[in-house]
Amino acid sequence: MGFFKLAGRVAVIGSLVSIMGASTVFAAAFGVVSGNNVNIRSQASSTASVIGSANVGTEFNVLGKEGDWYNVMYNGTSGYVSSQYLTVNKVEATVVGNGVNIRSAASTESNVVSTANSGQAVTVTAQNDEWYKLSDNSFISKQYVEGSLIELVTNMENTTVQASATKEETLMQNTYGIVLATSGLNLRSSASTNGDIIDVLPYGEVVDVYSYSKSWVKVKTADGQEGYLSADYCSVRTGEKPSRSLSSSKGEQVVSYAKQFMGTPYVWGGTNLNRGVDCSGFVYSVYKNFGITLNRTSASMASNGVVVSKSQLIPGDLVFFDTTGVNNGGISHVGIYIGNGQYIHASSGKEYCVTISDLNNSYGLSTYVTARRVIR
């Protein structure tokens, strides 16, 4: 068995984003502030305590409306802004029906610019009695669109209110996400469990956020991939984005610890970091010091963690090799990547001890098979 225990349910942003089953509808609303020094209050009342303030152009994730107050996400908690000073300018919604016409103007006499099918996500930016305006300035009949907060979007005559993020592809300022799934999290092409899997992001990966709801987070990864993550296992946070992932910083701690045992003799079957280790015994014992239990052999160890491409290696990742001379994908050796194209391992070659080798020399290139990220 792998070392990962079944992950407990993750509460995203406190009690506001509760654990829910998978949903096929991505519904999120965003509003923009239209005044300066606008108070954000703890309750939907002008007598409630002030928990912060915002200026013109500040965008908030809107959670709902209570009377004349919008319930917004503020610094990871619930706050309230008077509807006098906030306009809902963007709501994620879903098309209902197949072959639905999308038109160039809010009229059945206008040109059809495209069609949409049931389940397709659209971004609504304004409305009138019969039509929704979309983010690309096209229009769709209201009878073919649904969304839990869509009724909050501004009327078309009010769309001149200054907005900082009216385009769908604008990243949220001072907002980022962190992957909390210890076994990796699927990045999908759409906000649905039926969406294609673009990539599997490892624990601790830091991503930029476009928008989010109780079920899905639309993100952009460090290497430019865009897609959707389950909100159950992606924590959306505000503030300055970390410069590196959680797994990266802990990986460097692992590397620092492993380097203490440079020169420990190679002993087949050994797990004593001071007296003798084999390749998997070395990796197993190093990670055990950090509370991470791996499978014991190099071949079985490859089933721990999540797959990492060679171009995305960070310190602490496990690198696997086929040292049989044929490299048919079998695994017979393992080491720990330390950065700068190098790895530390217990070598049974001429060094016959724990040593550092080049991943990109001729031997490394000819024997390398795959890599895994195991840090939780």
Residue 333: active-site member = yes
Say yes or no: domain 175-238 is CATH 2.30.30.40: yes
Confidence of residue 76 (pLDDT cuts 50, 70, 90): confident
pLDDT > 50? residue 23: no
Active-site annotation holds for 279? yes
Find the catalytic residue in 237, 250, 333, 373.
333
**Comma-separated ranges of CATH 3.90.1720.10 domains in the chain:** 247-373
DSSP 12: B
Q: What is the pLDDT of residue 22?
A: 34
Can you tell me the distance from the alpha carbon of 126 to that of 152, in angstroms, rounded to the nearest whole number?
Answer: 9
pLDDT at 143: 93
Residue 1: pLDDT band (50, 70, 90) is very low
Of 3.40.640.10, 3.30.70.260, 1.10.150.120, 3.90.1720.10, the CATH number of 247-373 is: 3.90.1720.10
What is the torsional sign of CA 105, 110, 116, 119?
positive
Catalytic residue among 279, 314, 318, 336: 279
> In terms of pTM, does the model score above 0.75?
no
Instruction: Give percent above pLDDT 90 in the chain.
Output: 47
Planar angle of CA 216, 219, 224, nearest 5 degrees: 150
Catalytic residue among 103, 214, 218, 345, which? 345
Residue 244 Cα distances to 65, 143, 205, 250, 308, angstroms: 36, 45, 8, 10, 16
**pLDDT one-digit tens code per residue, 245-294:** 666 678 999 999 999 999 999 999 999 999 999 999 999 999 999 888 99
Residue 344 has pLDDT above 50, yes or no: yes
- Alpha helices by DSSP H, the chain: 246-258, 279-288, 298-301, 362-367
Query: Which residues make up the CATH 2.30.30.40 domain(s) of the chain?
Result: 29-158, 175-238
* pLDDT of res. 11: 34
In this prediction, residue 376 has a pLDDT band, given cuts at 50, 70 and 90, of low
pLDDT, position 170: 74
Annotated catalytic residue 58: no
Which DSSP state fits 195? S
Any idea which fold 29-158 has? SH3 type barrels. (2.30.30)
